[in-house]
């Protein structure tokens, strides 16, 4: 039996898991799909209703039917010869995605996480509905492309309102990275909401009685809670605004919240999640979002929580998602 | 009408599970276009900050296909010395050689949905 890790070459978190798996009696194969086709090939045959065969690199051969768990950690897209035309590259991309990707995603093993479930989980409005259905408390939220709806949402609450991205908070523009952070909607904003109408935007009530942020790293059924204490007003609004001012500590996840998280992840088909909450000054936990590909190394480094070993143990156990 | 393959990759409401390899090509230069004028640019892209996290530098090394780890020039795994970047920081990993490129940036805490054109 073997564990298949799909990750980029330069990934210290993946390195740590490979290192941890060395302590177990399990074969580990680490591949990056970006090696295809130059240094990765596929030879898979449908036998008895399942895919058999190999993925091969110059250094190893992965027998598909021996894989019992897959860690899907943001491997790169395929890299085709530069001599190909755009049409040829698009053809090769689609065929390879459907072929190599189709064979891999049909493996009925433990996935951490299955990429198609990750893709589904990227829709945060759906996360909020599912979280509420699982008994988690969610924050009043508006998705709109109408300026008048923003004004209505702000007018009907005494809470401050914040604008938040639904997708990536970092864009590349003018040759450099720029970051969008959670921001308070001000009276000045309400006067001029130009640009709301050209895209969908997300707004949420800001928890006025916010005590601290919490991140829960879910690895299988194991939940690891962390309090993220900000020491500045900027950090309290969005902890990503002030990393140097943050303090971390381990945190027990209340039973009711833990139950909701496990239901949420099961319904999402996920075996790993990085879930963000706000904890208010009455110890209420308000669900913000789940990142199925979220990072955990930084809280492990800050607190010593055994996340890498927990993930390695989950991969060794295998099973199905 | 879009070509079928374009519908496959750009249809707005289907699951992005259509994209198997979820991260984009590496080593591709960042777009250099300036922002659009007010009225065209989405409101959510107002007041973007420059990289507002210090990030952390990932130790330089090369990938060893035998150990399946990043190693230093002497072949020693860097795993015990690796620094974890802040979850949404733009971190820079410096590596030797051409594959991957000698320097690349990535965002830690997000799994993108569009790999773009293959590199």
Q: Residues A221, A270: one domain? A: yes
| Residue at token pair 């045959």 | A45
In a domain, A135, yes or no: no
Reported confidence tier of residue A297, pLDDT bands at 50, 70, 90 = confident
Instruction: Kindly state the average pLDDT of the residues A175-186.
Output: 86
In a domain, A257, yes or no: yes
Facing residue for A9 by CB, picked from B52, B63, B112: B63
pLDDT, position B115: 33
Q: Would you say B86 and A243 are in contact if contact means Cβ atoms under 8 Å apart?
A: yes
Query: Is ipTM > 0.85 here?
Result: no
pLDDT averaged over every residue in chain A: 92
Q: Residues A197, A155: one domain? A: yes
- A316 phi, psi to nearest 5 deg: -65, -40
In a domain, A122, yes or no: no
CA–CA dist A238, A275 (Å, integer): 15
CATH number for A105 = 3.40.50
In a domain, A164, yes or no: yes
Residue B74 distance to chain A (closest CA, Å): 17
pLDDT reading at B67 higher than 60? yes
Question: Measured at the alpha carbon of residue A290, what is the angle toward residues A267 and A78, in degrees to the nearest 5?
Answer: 90
pLDDT tens track for A105-122: 999 999 999 888 888 888
Residues ≥6 apart with Cβ < 8 Å to A291:
A273, A274, A275, A276, B109, B110, B111
Q: Residues A12, A108: one domain? A: yes
Nearest CA in chain B to A273: B109
Q: Residues A61, A158: one domain? A: no
Q: Which of A47-56, A171-180, B109-118 has the lowest mean pLDDT?
A: B109-118
pLDDT reading at A213 higher than 90? yes
From A301, A264, A303, A293, select the one nearest A73 (Cα to Cα): A293
- A203 phi, psi to nearest 5 deg: -130, 145
CA–CA dist B99, B116 (Å, integer): 19
pTM of the predicted protein model: 0.85
Instruction: Kindly state the average pLDDT of the residues A27-32.
Output: 96
CA–CA dist A203, A197 (Å, integer): 14
| Residues pairing with A247 in the sheet | A229
CA distances (Å), B27 to each of A12, A136, B30, B103, in order?
A: 18, 40, 9, 8
pLDDT reading at B4 higher than 50? no
Tell me whether residues A120 and B17 touch, CB distance under 8 A: yes
* Domain of A41, in residue numbers: 2-112
DSSP A158: S
Run of H or E residues at A14: helix A12-21
pLDDT reading at B93 higher than 50? no
Q: Residues A275, A223: one domain? A: yes
Q: Residues A215, A190: one domain? A: no
Report the percent of chain B where pLDDT is more than 70: 34
Most confident of A9-13, A264-268, B48-52: A264-268
DSSP A92: H
CA–CA dist A164, A207 (Å, integer): 14
In a domain, A46, yes or no: yes
Q: Which of A205, A223, A252 is the last residue of a domain?
A: A205
In a domain, A154, yes or no: yes
User: Parallel, antiparallel, or unpaired for β A137-138 and A285-291?
Assistant: parallel
Restricting to B residues 41-100, those with a Cβ less than 8 Å away from any Cβ of A are 41-54, 58-59, 61, 63, 65-70, 77-80, 82-90, 93, 95, 100
Quickly list H helices, B1-119. Answer: 4-10
Q: Which of A67, A92, A112 is the last residue of a domain?
A: A112
CA–CA dist A113, A104 (Å, integer): 12
- A255 phi, psi to nearest 5 deg: -55, -45
In a domain, A44, yes or no: yes
Q: Residues A103, A6: one domain? A: yes
Q: Detail the DSSP E strand segments found in chain A.
A: 2-7, 27-31, 41-47, 50-56, 61-63, 67-73, 110-112, 137-138, 141-144, 161-164, 170-173, 176-179, 183-184, 201-205, 210-219, 222-230, 246-251, 272-280, 285-291
pLDDT, position B16: 47
In a domain, A222, yes or no: yes
Instruction: Kindly state the average pLDDT of the residues A139-159.
Output: 97
CATH number for A227 = 3.30.470.20
Which of A5 and B17 is assigned the larger pLDDT? A5
Task: Please tell me the total count of domains within chain A.
Answer: 3
pLDDT reading at B22 higher than 70? no
Facing residue for B70 by CB, picked from A10, A199, A243: A10
* C-alpha A258 chain-centroid distance: 18
pLDDT, position B28: 67
């Amino acid at each position: 039996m073997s564990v298949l890790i799909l990750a980029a070459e330069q990934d210290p978190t993946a390195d740590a898991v490979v290192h941890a798996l060395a302590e177990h009696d399990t074969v580990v194969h680490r591949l990056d799909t970006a090696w295809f086709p130059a240094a990765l090939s596929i030879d898979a045959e449908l036998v008895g209703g399942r895919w058999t065969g190999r993925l091969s690199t110059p250094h190893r051969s992965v027998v598909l039917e021996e894989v019992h768990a897959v860690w899907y950690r943001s491997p790169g897209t395929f890299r085709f010869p530069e001599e190909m035309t755009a049409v040829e590259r698009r053809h090769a991309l689609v065929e390879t995605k459907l072929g190599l990707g189709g064979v891999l995603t049909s493996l009925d093993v433990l996935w951490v996480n299955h990429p198609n479930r990750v893709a589904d989980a990227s829709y945060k409005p759906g996360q909020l509905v599912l979280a509420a259905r699982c008994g988690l408390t969610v924050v009043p939220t508006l998705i709109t492309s109408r300026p008048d709806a923003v004004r209505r949402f702000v007018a009907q609450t005494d809470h401050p309102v914040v604008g938040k991205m639904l997708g990536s908070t970092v864009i590349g523009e003018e040759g450099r990275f720029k970051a969008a952070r959670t921001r308070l909607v001000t009276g000045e904003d309400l006067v001029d909401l130009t640009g709301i109408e050209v895209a969908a935007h997300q707004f949420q009530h800001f928890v006025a009685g916010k005590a601290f942020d919490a991140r829960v790293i879910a690895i299988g059924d194991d939940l690891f809670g962390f309090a993220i204490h900000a020491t500045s007003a900027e950090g309290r609004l969005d902890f990503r605004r002030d990393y140097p001012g943050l303090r971390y500590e381990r945190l027990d996840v209340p039973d009711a919240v833990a139950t909701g998280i496990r239901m949420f992840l099961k319904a999402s088909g996920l075996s790993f999640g990085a879930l963000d909450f706000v904890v208010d000054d009455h110890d209420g936990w308000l669900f913000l979002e789940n990142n199925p590909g979220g990072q955990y190394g930084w809280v492990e480094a800050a607190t010593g929580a055994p996340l890498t070993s927990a993930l390695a143990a989950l991969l060794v156990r295998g099973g199905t998602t | 009408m879009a070509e079928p393959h374009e519908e496959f990759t750009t249809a707005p409401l289907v699951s992005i599970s259509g994209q198997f390899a979820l991260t984009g090509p590496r080593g591709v230069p960042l777009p250099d276009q300036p922002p659009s004028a007010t009225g065209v640019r989405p409101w959510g892209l107002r007041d973007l900050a420059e990289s507002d996290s210090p990030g952390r530098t990932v130790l330089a090394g090369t990938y060893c296909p035998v150990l399946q780890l990043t190693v230093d020039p002497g072949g020693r795994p860097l795993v015990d010395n690796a620094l974890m970047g802040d979850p949404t920081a733009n971190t820079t990993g410096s590596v030797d050689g051409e594959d991957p490129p000698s320097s690349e940036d990535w965002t830690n805490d997000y799994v993108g949905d569009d790999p773009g054109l293959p590199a």
